Amino acid sequence: RVGIICDAGFAPGATLRGYLAHHGLLDRFDHWSFSDEVGVFKPDPRIFQHAAAGLGVEDPATLAHVGDLRRTDVGGALRSGWTAVRYRGLNDDAPAPGELDAPIVLDHHGDLLAALGLR
């Protein structure tokens, strides 16, 4: 199962759904957790809990979150008990003092399945 957790700062979830539908991608996802609809932004664990519930998953340790930002994506995933995967292909942000990095860091999207042991 695949879902989206998105901080909808520039466009609301409804607009983003329309964009995904227009490009034939909406039905590729089983659930969407947009911050404007959930009421919290990453790294708040509640948006990760919303996504897990929407995907029908009770054990967060079985979930992985892929994102590009250490503070929101990696921090939120780790605090929520998920596996964190940081994609640095577009934005390799510098860590803040004491900030944890993801246990999996990718430069290419194509490496994701192998990194998660799914291929």
Distance, CA of 29 to CA of 20 (rounded, Å):
10
As a whole number, the mean pLDDT across the chain is 95
Read off the pLDDT of each residue in 96-103 and give the average, rounded to a whole number.
89
Q: What are 3-23's pLDDT values in tens digits?
A: 999 999 889 999 999 999 999
> Domain range holding 50?
1-58
- Closest-CA residue to 36 (of 8, 15, 64): 8
114 shares its domain with 65: yes
| pLDDT at residue 29 is higher than 90 | yes
48 shares its domain with 66: no
C-alpha distances in angstroms, 43 versus 8, 38, 62, 71, 92? Answer: 13, 13, 18, 7, 18
Amino acid residing at 79: R
Q: What are 64-94's pLDDT values in tens digits?
A: 999 999 999 999 999 999 999 999 988 788 8
| pLDDT at residue 55 is higher than 90 | yes
Amino acid residing at 103: P
89 shares its domain with 70: yes
Query: What total of structural domains would you count in the chain?
Result: 2
32 shares its domain with 88: no
89 shares its domain with 119: yes
